[in-house]
A = this chain, B = another copy of it.
Amino acid sequence: MWELWMRRALALAALAEGHTSPNPLVGALVLDREGRLVGEGFHARAGDAHAEVGALRQAGDAARGGTLVVTLEPCCHHGRTPPCSEAVLRAGIGRVVIALEDPDPRVDGGGIRQLRQAGLEVISGVLREEARQQNRAFLHRVRTGRPFGILKWAMSLDGRTALPNGASQWISGPPARDWVHRLRSGVDAVVVGGGTVRGDDPLLTSRGRRSPEPLRVVLSRSLDLPDQAKLWDTAVAPTLVAHGPDADLRRLPSGPEDLRLSACEPQQLMEALAERGCNQVLWECGPELAAAAIRQGCVQEIAAVVAPKLMGGMAARTPLGDLNFSAMDQVLQGQWHQSEPMGSDWLLRWRSGS
């Protein structure tokens, strides 16, 4: 009977998709003693009120003896805001229905324990899998210390991402390119390598769909970067140039922030971005950096747009560089997560099996 209400709480949580990092998405609603909806809330962005607090505030006295339905276990620690478990007790709630236990080591069941000890009925695990999916990026970052990585590419049916001479604009059609802007609006950072800046001079924004725009990151070993590039205009969106410890800093473009990594590798970059509060990043890089990101476990999902075109060419660019496999039982296996037409193209979304 709680699933319908939980579905609504999940929908509330989804309203802030892409905006809550480093926090999770959370939605909550309050039913009064008679089961009538008297309050709703969601976590809009880090630093703002938690979902439970908003819903309880809206419910006011009607919350007394009522039920709180919330997609994530209420926190029991002081962060940027006071613990939600205390607000729940203060409001006189009689029952709490939870989808997912909070894996944050500062919470980890502590919120539920505190509520039960205070005599509240606690029901946990309602639509847990849906809640896990919704917060897969947050959960991945908490578990691994790195953002959830999505690698995106557009290719022809014969697996080409450029012609032998490098031409690649445009492989996919306008609806798929528009979809990429929407994809960017759900991530905290977009990562490319120096080659993409030199070759494509991309803008890498969500075209205003996200405010602020996601952080644009260039991972460059050589700092052999153009003097002029759209990415250097940080009035449009923030840009970060990440490099190894030995880079010649005189080669840094003016405008972007710079970030010195202990090694110029995807893994070090991801750890640094997690520390800066990124839950989810989008890789939009060339085949060599993409392969390195995969080898280092930085890619959890692939979004491949397949255009109904044949490009051909043994020397033409393909999505991925070497993954060092020598037998078919070694190759990376995953599952289709989503497959749908997108204008004249086809979108295949893949999730890693691990």
Contact = CB atoms under 8 A, between A and B. Distances in A.
Given A159-B158, A308-B334, A169 B322 contact: no
A323 interface: yes
A165 B308 CA distance: 29
Contacts of A312: 291, 294, 320-325, 331
Interface stretch (A30-38, A195-203, A276-284, A343-351): A343-351
Interface string A47-80: 0000000000000000000000000000000000
A344 B291 CA distance: 23
A332 B344 contact: no
Given A159-B158, A309-B333, A331-B310, A326 B294 contact: no
Given A331-B309, A346-B339, A165 B326 contact: yes
Interface string A86-105: 00000000000000000000
Contacts of A309: 331-334
Interface residues of A, number: 52
Count of chain copies: 2
A156 B331 contact: yes
Interface string A270-300: 0000000000000000010001001000000
B294 A157 contact: no
A162 to B, nearest CB: 9
A341 interface: yes
A298 to B, nearest CB: 13
Contacts of A160: 159, 318
Contacts of A325: 163, 311-313
A164 B324 CA distance: 9
A336 interface: yes
A308 B336 contact: yes
A338 to B, nearest CB: 11
A26 B324 CA distance: 53
Given A158-B159, A321-B313, A341-B339, A306 B348 contact: yes
20 contacts: A157-B302, A157-B304, A163-B327, A164-B326, A167-B327, A169-B328, A287-B314, A291-B312, A306-B306, A306-B348, A308-B333, A310-B331, A311-B331, A311-B332, A312-B320, A312-B324, A314-B322, A315-B322, A316-B318, A339-B346
Closest 3 CB pairs of A and B: A159-B159, A312-B323, A310-B332
